[in-house]
């Protein structure tokens, strides 16, 4: 069997065979239990995949292939988040129509993913810019409008003078001052815009986190973003303030309001002393937080002190109220930092918001049987900067009849935010074969929610939050049976090069093509996964690529070589356990290291069959070829995962010490090598007083030894 390992030929051969056999496809109706293994779908807003994508998708694919071999029906769909500002800005830059661009780039992305051997179910792919998809995005908005969860309001909004559109606060950086897409300083404008009432769900969005299997970091980020605050509302005459320090009331010497507030310049009475206090304009008061007015306590609050000193206001050292007195000065109130979600975009490349404006009836939703409201073709799709979308230039399209009274009326010309498209896309995947409904109720109940979601930390405060809100709203409106979309989330780390994030300006960008053409898909995915634990991210180096290249070549030689050795049952069992555990905790680098270490022992027919199956999730093409050369039936990817001979196993569990703020509270027994998340869970289950997520500020985990919950 001494044949050369011809990577390119082998990979092309299996790609074609898998495609013909629809290997990625799962019959959702016939399946018993479906495991939804989901990765965030890409914006096709570049010429091809980034190695960061390759790292993320390869990890998801390893997990999916592994679970399939463990006997689960794994549904692993992919699509394209093609509508929206990301794609449109790229189209503007390269001077191509976004529709033509999307057609080209989605094709490219698909090709690259196939060359990486990523086993998506392409039969259920979606493209958010396809009318067959956005018809249902519009349907969703109509449902929200009917339920009072979508409304139109004049409000100060953030406008990007470069992207020429308003942005959600979530799409700005540096505390709402810069556009996240182009880094231009944003300006405030007062405009009439569409909003989704996410604030109605603020409480549930906080509470629901408790039950989810998400990294603590993701929960913390969402909690911070929602910004729940318990405080007191106190009346100062006609003005109401929100404070978390009612005990400081005696020391209040002024009231601060935002510039332009109607009470600025007047005075209001102190509720205890009756003394008239000045109402001052201060730029640190946020109009939309709390009650929009702050009681100024310069003796106890740093910002108030600086302000009082700068404008010469009195500072009072009056004694604080005790707890009992403080409870009587106002009303308990809960306030949130979260604002309603601004979804209007004065752009071209998105779903037209499905509303008609009638002089007599006001804004009227487009009836379901007239959806989709197709995006009109316009000659010039560039944003105009006039505050209206380029859709307004399509006059024949704008002029329509009111769905209610049939009089002449005008279409809404704004399109909706791209985050609306992605807030529900996972609901569509299982039901792409239905054109008369957004999702089929039975299919949905059987397949969803998503079992595993591979995300990016940059999406926690937006996409993940929006998807949770939309899921809760759809649940309440009776459209789906669950309230949380993603039972388990893990956040992928960043791949860097030369110690730095890849960027054009640094000149350290590597493209997957450079490697796909030379070393092939198996080596590229292996090299990325070997660089670091998936959740941590790591460094992409050419020596890493060379290392995996050597390992796969050695695998080829050993497996196609003579049966000589004598394998140890204990070694084999320990390898199977270690590789399985490492995959479960997404430490693919550790799994590959165990395979490297086991390879020299894979010299008996039995050990070779074990090795090739363990290798299959990582190097799908090579493993398939080796499986065939071993005389086995197609396909290695549908084989059962190797069984562990438990009598051959040595120690695999360890006792972990549980601490709270450094004090020992007990012990818990876990599997050797368990992840932090698993140990956190086990510690909480053990009832030794490990605090809940909301009470934990930080967790310190020393692998296989100790876990410390920090609560302050
Ligand atoms: C008096 C006071 C005294 C306050 C003191 C703090 C310390 P969190 O915890 O984030 O909810 N505040 C209330 N509304 C505000 C607004 N619209 N813009 C800016 N600041 C606002 O913060 C609540 C505290 O932030 C409130 O409690 C209020 O200042 C301020 F020694 O009231 B405090
Ligand atoms: Zn009308």
Ligand nearest to the CA of 355: 2
Cβ–Cβ < 8 Å for 597, 551:
no
Question: What was the pLDDT predicted at 357?
Answer: 97
The reply to whether 584 and 633 lie within a common domain is yes
Cα gap 417→353, rounded to integer Å: 10
The reply to whether 685 and 612 lie within a common domain is no
Ligand nearest to the CA of 321: 1
Q: What percent of the chain has pLDDT over 70?
A: 99
**What is the 144 CA–ligand 2 centroid distance (Å)?**
20
Q: Which of 284, 315, 335 finishes a domain?
A: 335
Question: Is the minimum distance from the CB of 242 to ligand 1 under 6 angstroms?
Answer: yes
The reply to whether 566 and 637 lie within a common domain is yes
The reply to whether 632 and 528 lie within a common domain is yes
Residue 265: give its domain's CATH number.
3.90.740.10
Residue listed under structure tokens 């997404």: 586
Structural domain of 640: 520-645
The reply to whether 256 and 325 lie within a common domain is yes
**What is the 336 CA–ligand 1 centroid distance (Å)?**
12
Ligand nearest to the CA of 229: 1
Ligand nearest to the CA of 361: 2
Q: What is the pTM of this model?
A: 0.88
Residue 344 bridge partners (DSSP): 416
Cβ–Cβ < 8 Å for 667, 656:
yes
160 within some domain:
no
559 within some domain:
yes
Residue 677: give its domain's CATH number.
3.10.20.590
**What is the 696 CA–ligand 1 centroid distance (Å)?**
23
Write out the H or E segment, with its range, that includes residue 443. helix 441-447
- pLDDT of residue 437 exceeding 60, the answer is yes
Strands 653-660 and 362-365, how do they pair?
unpaired
Residue listed under structure tokens 């003078």: 161
41 within some domain:
no
585 within some domain:
yes
Cβ–Cβ < 8 Å for 193, 155:
yes
Q: Which residue from 37, 66, 67, 42 is spatially nearest to 53, judged by alpha carbons?
A: 42
Strands 73-75 and 254-257, how do they pair?
unpaired
Could you report the per-residue pLDDT of 209-237, keeping only the tens digit for each? 999 999 999 999 999 999 999 999 999 99
Identify which has the larger pLDDT, 172 or 547: 547
688 within some domain:
yes
Could you report the per-residue pLDDT of 583-625, keeping only the tens digit for each? 999 999 999 999 999 999 999 999 999 999 999 999 999 999 9
Nearest residue (by CA) to ligand 1, atom 11, is 229
The reply to whether 569 and 660 lie within a common domain is no
Cα gap 448→34, rounded to integer Å: 8
Q: Which of 645, 673, 699 finishes a domain?
A: 645
89 within some domain:
no
- pLDDT of residue 481 exceeding 50, the answer is yes
Ligand nearest to the CA of 410: 2
540 within some domain:
yes
Q: Which residue from 526, 528, 463, 470 is spatially nearest to 489, judged by alpha carbons?
A: 463
- pLDDT of residue 171 exceeding 80, the answer is no
In total, how many domains does the chain have? 3
**What is the 676 CA–ligand 2 centroid distance (Å)?**
59
Rounded to the nearest integer, the mean pLDDT of the chain is 93
Q: Which of 295, 311, 335 finishes a domain?
A: 335
Q: Closest ligand 1 atom to the C-alpha of 292?
A: 17
Question: Is the minimum distance from the CB of 232 to ligand 1 under 6 angstroms?
Answer: no
Nearest residue (by CA) to ligand 1, atom 2, is 245
Mutate-to-test residue for ligand 1 from 175, 244, 339, highest number of ligand atoms within 8 A of CB: 244
- pLDDT of residue 9 exceeding 80, the answer is yes
Give the pLDDT mean for 531-539.
94
The reply to whether 679 and 576 lie within a common domain is no
Question: What was the pLDDT predicted at 2?
Answer: 57
Q: Which residues of 527-565 are buried (b: 16+ CB within 10 A; e: fewer)?
A: bbbbbbbbbebbebeeebbebbbebbeebbebbbeeeee
- pLDDT of residue 642 exceeding 90, the answer is yes
The reply to whether 328 and 258 lie within a common domain is yes
Question: Is the minimum distance from the CB of 587 to ligand 1 under 6 angstroms?
Answer: no
Could you report the per-residue pLDDT of 104-115, keeping only the tens digit for each? 999 999 999 999
- pLDDT of residue 194 exceeding 90, the answer is yes
Cα gap 385→523, rounded to integer Å: 48
First and final CA of the chain: distance in angstroms? 63
Cα gap 227→268, rounded to integer Å: 29
Could you report the per-residue pLDDT of 232-268, keeping only the tens digit for each? 999 999 999 999 999 999 999 999 999 999 999 999 9
Q: Closest ligand 1 atom to the C-alpha of 287?
A: 17
Question: Is the minimum distance from the CB of 245 to ligand 1 under 6 angstroms?
Answer: yes
531 within some domain:
yes
3-state secondary structure of 600: helix
Cα gap 15→12, rounded to integer Å: 5
- Other Cβ atoms less than 10 A from the Cβ of 635: the count is 18
Residue 159 bridge partners (DSSP): 166, 187
Distances (CA, A) of 89 to 50, 163, 184: 18, 8, 14
Nearest residue (by CA) to ligand 1, atom 5, is 301
The reply to whether 677 and 656 lie within a common domain is yes
Question: What was the pLDDT predicted at 1?
Answer: 47
Mutate-to-test residue for ligand 1 from 223, 224, 239, 245, highest number of ligand atoms within 8 A of CB: 245
Angle, CA 590 vertex, CA 584 and CA 592 arms, to 5°: 100
The reply to whether 612 and 640 lie within a common domain is yes
Question: Is the minimum distance from the CB of 243 to ligand 1 under 6 angstroms?
Answer: yes
Nearest residue (by CA) to ligand 1, atom 8, is 229
Cα gap 559→252, rounded to integer Å: 80
3-state secondary structure of 611: helix
The reply to whether 640 and 682 lie within a common domain is no
Residue 641: give its domain's CATH number.
1.10.730.10
- pLDDT of residue 353 exceeding 90, the answer is yes
Q: Which residue from 515, 146, 553 is spatially nearest to 355, judged by alpha carbons?
A: 146
Give the pLDDT mean for 326-332.
94
String of DSSP letters for 459-497: GTTTHHHHHHHHHHHHHHTTS-S-S-SBSBEEE----EE
CA 151 to chain centre: 26
Cα gap 39→376, rounded to integer Å: 31
The reply to whether 684 and 591 lie within a common domain is no
């Amino acid at each position: 069997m001494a044949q050369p390992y011809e990577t390119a030929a082998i990979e092309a051969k299996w790609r074609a065979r898998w495609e013909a056999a629809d290997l990625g496809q799962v019959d959702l109706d016939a399946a018993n239990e479906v495991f939804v293994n989901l990765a965030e779908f890409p914006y096709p807003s570049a010429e091809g995949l980034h190695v960061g994508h390759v790292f993320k998708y390869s990890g998801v694919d390893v997990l999916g292939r592994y679970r399939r071999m463990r006997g689960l029906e794994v549904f692993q769909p992919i699509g394209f988040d093609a509508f929206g500002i990301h794609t449109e800005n790229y189209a503007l830059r390269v001077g191509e129509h976004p529709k033509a661009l999307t057609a080209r780039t989605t094709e490219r992305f698909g090709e690259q993913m196939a060359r990486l051997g990523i086993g998506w179910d392409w039969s259920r792919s979606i493209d958010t810019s396809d009318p067959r998809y956005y018809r249902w995005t519009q349907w969703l908005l109509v449902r929200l409008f009917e339920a009072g969860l979508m409304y139109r309001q004049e409000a100060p909004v953030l406008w990007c003078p470069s992207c020429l559109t308003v942005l959600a606060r979530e799409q700005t950086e540096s505390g709402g001052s810069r556009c996240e897409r182009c880094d231009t300083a944003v300006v405030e404008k007062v405009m009439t815009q569409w909003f989704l009432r996410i604030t109605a769900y603020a409480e549930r969005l906080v509470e629901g986190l408790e039950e989810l299997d998400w990294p603590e970091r993701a929960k913390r980020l969402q909690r911070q973003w929602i910004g729940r605050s318990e405080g007191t509302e106190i009346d100062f005459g006609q003005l109401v303030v929100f404070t978390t320090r009612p005990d400081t009331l005696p020391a209040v010497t002024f009231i601060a309001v935002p510039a332009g507030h109607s009470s600025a310049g007047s005075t209001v009475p102190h509720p205890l002393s009756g003394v008239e206090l000045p109402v001052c304009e201060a730029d640190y008061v946020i109009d939309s937080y709390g009650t929009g007015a702050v009681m100024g306590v310069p003796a106890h609050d740093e910002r108030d002190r600086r302000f009082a000193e700068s404008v010469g206001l009195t500072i009072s050292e009056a004694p604080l109220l005790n707890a009992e007195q403080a409870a009587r000065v106002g009303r308990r109130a809960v306030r949130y930092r979260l604002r309603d979600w601004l979804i209007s975009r004065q752009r071209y490349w998105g779903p037209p918001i499905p509303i008609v404006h009638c002089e007599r009836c006001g804004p009227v939703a487009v009836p379901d049987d007239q959806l989709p409201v197709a995006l009109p073709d316009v000659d010039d799709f560039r944003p105009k900067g006039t505050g209206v979308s380029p859709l307004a230039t399509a006059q024949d399209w704008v002029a329509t009849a009111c769905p209610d009274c049939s009089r002449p009326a005008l279409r809404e010309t704004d399109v909706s935010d791209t985050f609306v498209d992605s807030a529900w896309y996972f609901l569509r995947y299982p039901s792409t074969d239905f054109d008369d409904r957004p999702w089929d109720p039975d299919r949905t109940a059987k397949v969803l929610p998503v079992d595993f979601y591979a995300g990016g930390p940059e999406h926690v405060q937006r996409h993940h939050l929006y998807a949770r809100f939309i899921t809760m709203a759809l649940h309440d409106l009776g459209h789906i049976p669950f309230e949380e979309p993603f039972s388990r989330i893990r956040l992928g780390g960043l791949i860097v090069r030369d110690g730095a994030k890849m960027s054009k300006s640094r000149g350290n960008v590597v493209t997957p093509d450079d490697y796909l053409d030379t070393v092939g898909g198996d080596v590229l995915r292996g090299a990325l996964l070997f660089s670091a634990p998936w959740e941590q991210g790591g460094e992409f180096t050419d020596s890493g690529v060379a290392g995996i290249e050597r390992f796969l070549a050695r695998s080829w030689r050993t497996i196609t070589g003579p049966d000589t050795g004598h394998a140890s049952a204990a070694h084999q069992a320990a390898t199977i356990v270690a590789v399985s555990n490492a995959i479960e905790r997404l430490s693919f680098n550790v799994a590959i290291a165990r395979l490297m270490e086991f390879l020299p022992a894979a010299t008996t027919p039995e050990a070779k069959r074990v090795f090739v199956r363990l290798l299959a999730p990582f190097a799908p093409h090579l493993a398939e070829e080796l499986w065939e050369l071993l005389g086995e039936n197609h396909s290695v990817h549908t084989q059962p995962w190797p069984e562990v001979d438990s009598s051959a196993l040595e120690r695999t569990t360890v006792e972990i010490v549980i601490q709270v703020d450094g004090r020992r509270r007990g012990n818990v027994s876990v599997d050797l090598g368990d992840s932090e998340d698993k140990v956190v869970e086990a510690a909480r289950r053990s009832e030794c007083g490990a605090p809940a997520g909301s009470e934990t500020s930080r967790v310190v985990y020393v692998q296989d030894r100790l876990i410390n919950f920090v609560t302050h």
